[in-house]
Every structure is written in structure tokens, then in C-alpha cells.
Amino acid sequence: MDKLVIFSGNANMRLARKICVYLNVKLGKALVTRFSDGEVRVKIGENVRGKDVFVIQPTCPPVNENMVELLVMLDALRRASPRRITAVIPYFGYARQDRKDQPRVPITAKLVANILAVAGANRVLTLDLHAGQLQGFFDIPLDHLYAVNVFLDYFKRKSIKNLVIVSPDVGGIKAARAYAKKFRAGLAIVDKRRNNPNSTEVMHILGKVKNKNVILVDDIIATGSSLVEAAKALRREGAKKIYACVTHGILSGNAVQKINNSDIDYLAISDSIPFDGSKRNRKIKVVSVANLFAEAIKRIHKEESISVLFGSIRS
């Protein structure tokens, strides 16, 4: 492992440190700061010539700051002659604009995939992309991890009986089906309409939820509107305990307050995005994906398969 070097930007230092602890390596030295005008300033503090370099940086809020930090780090590293650079992006921002669904809109997911490669990434390691097919936007190898096993291990401890997995929208059916299979549970779907980027309306629930315990599963919780509206509809339809598990807890604006006042009894999120300690409360639990990433990094470094991780990893 002496050729393995891990660096981190400022987006999720805690996750990067946990990954290093699992791998028993020191976090690489790098200065990632700002010039007085706000420009990102990077100085890599150790030799990386011939090394296998991993840069950990979710592109979570502040999205643009974190994105540019990652790009500037990649540029600094590629000019220092490593053997390979992997951008480890636990949360891949800008992914929701992934098709031209209206006139004169961008496809930012493709734009970001292109920029990462231009900046110096030779490969990408990420988790629960907003849509699986985004993998095809990259012309460099991409390894896609899933948080489902981490959440499965976590919820197993709760021994929830009579369980139905619920997708809060039609787009999430595939992921919800995977959860239902792993959890050996039923499946239901919320037919959601988005009125505007920040608000949603539930039309119908497809599937039986009456007198069932449910887990809503989603890739992202941003404003919280999708989950809160879905939970309201599930309660109306007679669901008992309403759990939710979401990989990427963006939790923007007053989302935490909304969750607290909602029909959701319990929300589990991962630490792909740092959770602000001041927002901690009894309803929200953070489950770590550090071991999952650490194991994937080890396997990529050793040129081993990572598909075994889809069945076994523990949080």
C-alpha cells in the first residue's frame, strides 16, 4: 500500500479521515485554501511521483466552492506526475440536470463529467448517482457504489416486521426494487408531481401500505418536500411507522425542521455529505459509508474486483 496516497478537499474532511483510519494510511498533506479574492489556492505538500492518488471530495453545498476545489486539486496533482488519479466523489452534485427536458437547458451532469477528466481525473469512484445511466457520461472508468447494504445492516438491527419499501417517485422505482429485494419486503410507489424545483404534490400511492411499516428510500433529500409529502400520503393511506433512508442528506434551508414536523418517524442518511452537528435531532441518524469507500479504494489500488462489496460491507 506504500504507493497509495489519499488527499481530501475541505468538503468532508471527517469522512476522509475515517477512510484513512480504516486503511491505516495518513491523509496526504495538502494546503487547500483561498486567495484574498476567493480564488481556490492549492499546494500539494508531498511527493506523488508514480503514486496511486485518490482525492476525496463530495460536490455538496457549497457546491461550486467544493467543485472548484476538486478541480484545482486534480490539476495540481496531475502536474506532479502520479501514476493515476481517482476522484472519489461520495456525492456527485450537478447530477439532477441530466437531460434536455425543456428547451434551452443545460446537461450539467455531462459538463461536470467532462471537466473532471480535463482537470486530471483518470477514474471516478462515487456512490448512488442520481441516475445509474450517468455512468455513461464519463469517458474514463467509473466505479459506482451502492449504500443499500450499509442501510440494510443498519435497519436489520431494528427488526422491522411487516415491511414495505416505498419509492417517493416513479424515477426511484429501480432503486426501491433493489431495496425491497435486499430487505425481503413489499414494494409501493408514490406518484409524485413536481410543481417547481422546490415543491411537490402527491397524486396516488401504488401498492398496499395500510397497517404496514414502511421505509421510504431516495438518493437525495434536499428541501425535504418529496419525503414529507410522501409520508403525509402514506399516513393518510394507513401506514404505521414511517422510516426513511436517503443516501445524500443535502437538507437545505429548513429541511430539518420540516422533517421534525412531518409524519416521518425516523430518517437515516449517510455521511457522503457532512451533517451539521447543530442540526442533530432525535429523528435523524447518520450512518457511515466510510468503510465502504475505504474497501473500494483498497480494491481499486490492488486492482481487485469491487463487485463483492455489493453483498457484504458493514457500516
Residues identified as active-site: 192
The interface with ligand R5P within residues 268-297 (CB under 6 A) comprises: none
**Does 8 interact with ligand R5P (rule: CB under 6 A)?**
no
Q: Provide the CB-side half-sphere exposure for 148 (13 A, CA).
A: 21
The window from 75-83, 115-123, 133-141, 213-221 that contacts ligand R5P (CB under 6 A) reads 213-221
User: Which is closer to ligand R5P, CB of 80 or CB of 107?
Assistant: 107
**Does 95 interact with ligand R5P (rule: CB under 6 A)?**
no
Tell me how far apart the alpha carbons of residues 166 and 177 are, in angstroms, rounded to a whole number.
Answer: 9
Give CB contacts under 8 A, 24+ apart, made by 157-160.
158/243, 160/213, 160/215, 160/241, 160/243
User: In this chain, which of 224, 247, 289, 315 binds ligand R5P, going by CB under 6 A?
Assistant: 224
**Does 168 interact with ligand R5P (rule: CB under 6 A)?**
yes
* Number of residues located near ligand R5P, criterion CB under 6 A: 14
User: In this chain, which of 15, 221, 294, 313 binds ligand R5P, going by CB under 6 A?
Assistant: 221
Instruction: Give the position of cell 418517524.
Output: 265
Query: Shortest Cβ distance from residue 259 to ligand R5P (Å)?
Result: 10
For residue 88, the tally of other CB atoms under 10 A from its CB is 28
User: In this chain, which of 52, 69, 169, 271 binds ligand R5P, going by CB under 6 A?
Assistant: 169
**Does 222 interact with ligand R5P (rule: CB under 6 A)?**
yes
In the complex, the residues that contact ligand R5P under the rule CB under 6 A are 168-169, 171-172, 200, 218-226
